[in-house]
Amino acid sequence: MKKNNLIIAFLFLFVTLLPAQEKGIGVGLMIGEPTGLSGKYWVSQTNAFDAGVAYSFFSAHKGLMFHVDYLTHLQKIYFNGLAFLPYYGFGGKFGIANDKKSSFAARGVVGIAFLVKEKPIDIFLEVAPAFDLLPATGISVGAALGARYFFVR
């Protein structure tokens, strides 16, 4: 029991002492369509790659989904002392449906990240319209709410 309390105290201290990040590598979770793991890798002060490995519960092709996007971040918006970072980008997604059929789509993404003050965490909300190319052409839309923890590079 004391060991668990020591680990929790160490993690709390570690997270509280690190500054908020707009650089490095972040990993976390996203909930929505699809739901799963999210990652982000900053390549400059305004650009980053994000990726997701998730499960699609609602699309016509339910199954495992992978996406990668190149993001451009706009100027921060401050509201009541809080910092918001809008972004947009483009990329692609690939899926393996439960019926073993593959899917591929070009996707765009528009979102906003809330930067937690003095913490290496961002909370994001994004919408990702996609142009489905395989197995048939069409339009689909994904959306996610998520959070990522950033490790300094």
CATH of residue 83's domain is 2.40.160.20
Residue spans of alpha helices (H) in the chain: 2-17
The contacts of residue 48 (CB under 8 Å, 6+ apart) are 40, 41, 42, 70, 71, 73, 87
Number of domain units in the chain: 1
Q: Of 70, 1, 4, nearest to 42 (Cα)?
A: 70
- Scored b (16 or more CB within 10 A) or e, 45-59 reads eeebbbebebebeeb
Q: What pLDDT was estimated at residue 3? A: 52
CA atoms of 144 and 14, how far apart (whole Å)? 28
Q: What pLDDT was estimated at residue 101? A: 83
Domain of 74 in residue numbering reads as 2-151
Return the structure tokens found at 96.
């393996």
Q: What pLDDT was estimated at residue 49? A: 97
Q: What pLDDT was estimated at residue 119? A: 84
Q: What pLDDT was estimated at residue 59? A: 65
| pLDDT < 50 positions in the chain | 1, 4-20
DSSP designation for 101:
-
Q: What pLDDT was estimated at residue 11? A: 40
DSSP designation for 136:
S
